[in-house]
Homo-oligomer: A and B are copies of this chain.
Amino acid sequence: MRWKKISDAVIRRLPLYLRVLDDLASDPNTQLISSQELGVRAGVGPALVRKDLAWFGEFGKQGVGYEVKYLRDELRRILNLDEEIRIAIVGAGSLGAAFARYTHKRYADDSSFNLNVVALFDNDPEKIGKDIDHIPVFAAAELQERVKELGVQMAIIAVPAEYAQSAADELVKAGVKAILNFAPVKLSVPEGVHMASADLSLELQRLAYYLRD
């Protein structure tokens, strides 16, 4: 590992910067960006932009700013997005299928979106053996075998809460090191496996607090 001690709060902001730079890179008139402008567009204070990027090297010049394409390529490399990352989705219900379609479309439309969904898993015999937008649906029982065979590095859990922990256990056994969990439940994984939660209901409940401001 290259930058062991960098806080996750810093890592969380890198994709925000990358998005701004990806947008700008297609504009031939914008070759440089100041930390001020990058901060405004990413929704981050400019001092924090400079501090975050300084963890990884010297990317800009005082008074000149950052070279858009260079910084974009560096961020992509830092985030391991310079090579294809293969993803499996566990659960081919409406949520799993929607994310498969969504991610597949992003991958097809955007040459810099290197996240590629290559497999879905389900235990419904009606779904197994079919495909969703050309992504095959495999039996959940084949998960470990298929994940290894297909070189899956990352997974999305989109099963009901009661099956989510066993899905995570299977993924960990298969060697998956990064999991995005959509199930409304907290999952335990061993050290070295990274989780992110994309729990819609927690976000909605938080927003509800602000309704009677």
Contacts and interface: CB of A to CB of B under 8 A. Distances in A.
Interface in A103-152: 103, 106, 113, 115
Contact of A80 (B103, B115, B179, B209): B209
Contact of A201 (B78, B106, B153, B212): B106
Interface string A63-94: 00000000000000011110001010000001
A172 interface: no
A178 B211 contact: yes
Given A98-B94, A102-B95, A15 B202 contact: yes
Interface residues of A, number: 57
Contacts of A201: 15, 103, 106, 113, 115
Contacts of A16: 186, 202
What's the dominant secondary structure at chain A's contact region?
A: helix
11 contacts: A11-B210, A18-B205, A78-B209, A94-B98, A97-B98, A102-B200, A178-B208, A180-B207, A194-B207, A194-B210, A198-B203
B79 A205 contact: yes
A38 to B, nearest CB: 12
A101 interface: yes
A186 to B, nearest CB: 5
A14 B16 CA distance: 26
